[in-house]
C-alpha cells in the first residue's frame, strides 16, 4: 500500500508539476502578504499599548478573543461582507497572526531596562532617537519571535484559502479529501509542513544575522 501511494505521488509530480508550483506560489504570496500586514498592525498597536497603558487592556483583549475564534469561522463571517477570493482569506490570516506579534511587541518594549532609557535621556537624546536607537533594537528580538510565531501559524492555516477560491496548497488537500486520494493528501500536507519549517528556519536565520551580538560568547 505504501509503495502504491509513493508511486501515485511520483506520478502526480511528473504530470502536475506546473499546477503544483502555481499552488505553492499562491500559498507563499498570500502568506507573505498576511505576515507583512500583521507585523505592521501588530507592532504599531503594541507600541500604542506600551505608550498608553489605558488602551492595552482593550486592544489586547480584543485580539485575544479573535485568536480564540477558529480561522474558518472568521472566514465564514467575512464572506457576506467581502465575498470569496483572496481578500477574506487574507483578512482572516492577518487577524490570526496579529496577537503573537502584538503581545511580543508589548513584552519587548516593556522589558527595556529603565536605566538605559534614563542614560539615553541624560545624553540629550530626543524621544525619536531613544525609540530608534535604544528601545527598538532591544525590543526587536521579542518582536521577531512574535513574527515567527505568526508566520508559522499563517503558513499552516493558509490552506483555508482554497475553500473560497483563493488558491494555495489547500486546493490539493481538498481535492484529496474529495477524491479520497491519500497521495494528494500527503503531497499537500507534507508541502505545507515543509513550508512552515522553512519559514521558521529563515526567520531564525534572520534573527541570528540581525542580532548577531546576542550570540557572541
User: What's the CATH number where 46 sits?
Assistant: 1.10.3720.10
Q: Are 15 and 182 in contact (CB under 8 A)?
A: no
Query: pLDDT of the chain along its 217 residues, tens only?
Result: 677 778 888 888 888 899 999 999 989 999 999 999 999 999 999 999 888 888 888 888 888 777 777 776 777 777 777 777 778 888 888 888 899 999 999 999 988 888 888 888 888 888 888 888 888 888 988 999 999 999 988 888 888 777 777 778 888 888 888 888 888 889 989 999 999 899 888 888 887 877 665 544 4
As a whole number of angstroms, the distance between CA 101 and CA 216 comes to: 26
Q: d(Cα 51, Cα 1) in Å, to the nearest integer? A: 60
Q: Does any domain span residue 129? A: yes
Asked whether residue 73 is domain-assigned, the answer is yes
Asked, for residue 217, whether it belongs to a domain, the answer is no
Q: Quote the domain boundaries for residue 150.
A: 2-211
Query: 91 and 82 in contact (C-beta within 8 Å)?
Result: yes
C-alpha radius of gyration, the chain, whole number: 21
What is the pTM assigned to this prediction? 0.85
Q: Is there a domain that residue 181 lies in?
A: yes
Please report whether residue 207 resides in a domain. Answer: yes
69 part of a folded domain: yes
In a domain, 216, yes or no: no
Q: Three-state DSSP class for 38?
A: helix
Domain annotation covers residue 113: yes
Task: Count how many domains the chain has.
Answer: 1
CA 131 to chain centre: 25
Distance of CA 171 to the CA centre of its chain: 20
Amino acid at each position: 500500500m505504501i509503495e502504491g501511494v509513493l508511486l501515485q505521488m511520483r506520478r502526480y509530480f511528473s504530470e502536475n508539476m506546473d499546477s503544483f508550483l502555481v499552488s505553492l506560489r499562491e500559498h507563499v504570496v498570500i502568506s507573505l502578504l498576511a505576515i507583512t500586514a500583521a507585523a505592521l498592525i501588530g507592532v504599531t498597536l503594541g507600541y500604542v499599548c506600551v505608550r498608553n497603558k489605558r488602551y492595552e487592556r482593550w486592544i489586547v483583549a480584543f485580539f485575544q478573543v479573535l485568536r480564540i475564534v477558529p480561522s474558518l469561522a472568521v472566514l465564514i463571517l467575512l464572506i457576506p461582507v467581502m465575498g470569496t477570493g483572496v481578500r477574506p482569506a487574507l483578512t482572516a490570516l492577518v487577524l490570526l497572526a496579529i496577537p503573537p506579534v502584538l503581545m511580543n511587541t508589548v513584552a519587548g518594549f516593556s522589558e527595556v531596562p529603565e536605566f538605559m532609557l534614563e542614560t539615553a535621556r541624560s545624553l540629550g537624546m530626543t524621544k525619536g532617537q531613544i525609540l530608534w536607537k535604544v528601545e527598538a533594537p532591544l525590543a526587536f528580538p521579542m518582536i521577531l519571535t512574535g513574527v515567527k510565531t505568526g508566520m508559522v501559524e499563517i503558513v499552516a492555516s493558509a490552506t483555508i484559502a482554497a475553500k473560497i477560491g483563493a488558491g494555495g496548497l489547500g486546493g490539493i488537500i481538498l481535492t484529496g479529501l474529495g477524491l479520497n486520494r491519500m497521495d494528494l493528501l500527503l503531497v499537500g500536507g507534507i508541502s505545507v509542513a515543509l513550508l512552515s519549517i522553512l519559514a521558521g528556519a529563515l526567520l531564525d536565520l534572520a534573527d541570528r544575522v540581525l542580532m548577531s551580538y546576542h550570540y557572541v560568547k
